[in-house]
Amino acid sequence: MSDFLMPALGADMEAGTVVEWRVEPGDRVRKGDIVAVVETQKGAIEVEIFDEGVVSEIVVPVGTKVPVGTLLARIGERVAPQPAAAPAAPPPPAPVVTTPRPVAAPAAPPPSVTVPAHAKVSPAARRRAAELGIDLAAIAGSGVDGAVTLADVEAMMARVAAVPAAAPTPARRTGFDPALMRRAIAAAMARSKREIPHYYLSHTIDLARARAWLEARNAQQTVTGRLLPAVLLLKASALALREVPQLNGTYVDEAFRPGEGIHVGWAISLRGGGLLAPAIRDTDKRPLPDLMAAMRDLVARTRSGGLRSSELTSPTITVTSLGDRGADSVVGIITPPQVALIGFGTIAVRPWIADGQVAPRPLVTASLAADHRASDGHLGALLLNAIARLLQEPETL
């Protein structure tokens, strides 16, 4: 038996509302199955389960708001039904006795069986019940021998009409409340600045080789197969974290916990305001075309309300790019319990010294906000330098 609890879908979440159950008692579930939809300040999130078994009890009904950690359901194991016992062999027949016996008195007649009330229905009542969709078995007839009459059907219809209709089930919301999200973001960022000793670094990177490689590759692709510069920045960041794993993980219970994999949270702005940073799992292991497809899919589902709970709970670091917004650089705030955030500004052509000469080059400023409890400036600088080096070899990403 295991407990399925209300998950913490981000550091800013304190409670959630169950708006839909996708399982019921008796259903078998496996790891990764969507079992419920929970609404938070960030919208409606599909919640996965990480155990396997059979749903034995739904504890929290739909429409109930409960704090993080509240028991939502119990998961147990199905008990295999025991095979039915074989019927006992009949006793051997008694020996034939030839001695005459007294004739037994005739058995009493069986008790009379009451005929159901709907066994007799007048033709008019049957037609009217069919028109109204009324079950004749539910009507006690008032006619001769309990026959159901037209008046009985009309009386039943009047009673049904007098019962108030049940309130319609509210539609599941898939959007979000911008005011609630803004308050949630403010609370999480205030906590971050209050509790995490931030330090900041930045590094300017020459993207001439990366841009040339990208343009040559995209020229050979269809529109749907082309890559955006952001995917190179994301992949380089993930590969750099292999070299500096001290910045990939979380700080929990006064200790750093390395991430089990590099699951980069990609910051996505929402059309109504606010942002989310769901994870792209195993970012470092994905080929660039696969990573580009994952980014597009994640952006679409984030803005339409189709995120899974694991995508919000598994990021080991956040990467944000404001290049398409025109910001020269990003000075980020760490999302607890993560220990770092990487930011990229606009890719802009500026004067740059290359091979002893001043030349126009496409440059981007990469920044790092990191937790001084888990690392220091030395490791932070190594990470930024690793990103810069990897971007000089785009064909290896």
Q: Which residues are catalytic?
A: 372
Residues contacting residue 57 through CB under 8 Å, at least 6 positions apart? 25, 73, 74
Asked if residues 260 and 314 have their Cβ atoms less than 8 Å apart, the reply is: no
Helix (H), strand (E) at residue 151: helix 150-162
Beta strands 348-354; 264-266: pairing state: unpaired
Please, what sign has the CA dihedral across residues 41, 294, 330, 194?
positive
How far is 22 from 31, CA to CA, in rounded Å? Answer: 14
How far is 143 from 120, CA to CA, in rounded Å? Answer: 9
Residues 140-153 as b or e (16 or more Cβ within 10 Å = b): ebebeeebbbbebb
Peptide bond into 337 cis (omega under 30): yes
CA 312 to chain centre: 8
How far is 245 from 362, CA to CA, in rounded Å? Answer: 29
How far is 180 from 39, CA to CA, in rounded Å? Answer: 12
The residue assigned the tokens 């490791």 is 379
Structure tokens at 207: 């993207």
Residue 4 identity: F
Structure tokens at 85: 């016992």
The residue assigned the tokens 């034995």 is 56
